Amino acid sequence: MSTSGGPNITLDGLRVYIDPRNPESYVTGSIIYDLLNANTYTLQPGAAYDPRVAWTFHSSSAEYIETSEVWSKPQLEDTGCCWEVWMRTNHDAGAAGTDGVSLLNQSVDSAGTYERNGGINFRGGGEAQFVMYNGSAYIDPTSTTVVNDGVWHQIVGNFTSDHYMQIYVDGVMEAEQYNSASYDTSATTMRIAWGDGAPQKQPLDGNIGVVRLYDRPLSVEEIGRNYKGTLQT
């Protein structure tokens, strides 16, 4: 399948690429097609579609996108990753500094329950976070920009091969933290816009647009190229 964005989008290391604006990625129904390969992902019932714009979620734990992609512990620790999601919402995430809304989310606990231990969210107060649990504490660099303001934002969590976690908003790195311990996860798939209703992992009330998941960290120049390239398409 062809890709949207052309030469303005970083393709090296890209493993998941979905775009609601591209009819080769999605038109209707429950199947979302990856623009890079033959993979398909599932749009769970209840989520809506604004043609050629976005998928819309209504703060329900039953509405999310289920991918088939897995990030294993050795892969994350040895090579790093970069997770990019475009979102738009006015969702109030609850109490500042405590509550949060899930944007990208990976199952990690012993019961197979999806948690906030690996992924991207925005917290009470509206700041974006890149979250990983290292077995004893949450490492969660947090943006200064408030992203629940009703306009589109590019949110990027970048995990470098030397264990620095970085959060970007609209092409600009706003915070980073060093994760000195082992990443606490099993090899499980990523969900988009899912939350179970708990205060720190609420389901999204808003829109998801382009999602790109890389199996390597991106440079600041590459993240900026994706930001500008996506705005131009």
Strands (DSSP E) contained in the chain are 14-18, 31-33, 40-43, 48-50, 54-58, 65-70, 81-88, 100-107, 114-123, 127-133, 138-139, 142-146, 153-159, 164-169, 172-178, 189-192, 205-214
* Interatomic CA distance for residues 82 and 80, integer angstroms: 7
Q: Residues 95, 87, 220, 40: what is their CA dihedral angle, to the nearest 10 degrees?
A: 120
Nearest to 123 by CA among 171, 188, 54, 175: 175
Q: Which domains does the chain have, with CATH numbers?
A: 6-232 (2.60.120.200)
> If you ran DSSP here, which 8-state letter would residue 45 be given?
T
Q: Which of 7-11, 26-30, 34-38, 175-179 shows the lowest mean pLDDT across its residues? A: 7-11
Strand-pair category, 189-192 with 65-70: antiparallel
Q: Give yes or no for a contact between 226 and 84, defined as CB atoms under 8 angstroms apart.
A: yes
So what's the pLDDT on residue 76? 67
Which residue would you say has higher pLDDT here, 122 or 4? 122
CA of 182: how far to CAs of 28, 137, 148, 185, in Å?
A: 41, 11, 31, 9
- pLDDT tens for residues 148-198? 999 999 999 999 988 899 999 999 999 999 987 666 555 567 889 887 666
Q: Report the mean per-residue pLDDT for the chain.
A: 83
Q: What percentage of the chain has pLDDT greater than the value 90?
A: 45
So what's the pLDDT on residue 165? 92
Q: Which of 62-76, 102-116, 134-148, 183-197 shows the lowest mean pLDDT across its residues? A: 102-116
Q: Give yes or no for a contact between 11 and 84, defined as CB atoms under 8 angstroms apart.
A: no
- pLDDT tens for residues 85-107? 999 999 877 766 666 788 887 75
So what's the pLDDT on residue 84? 96
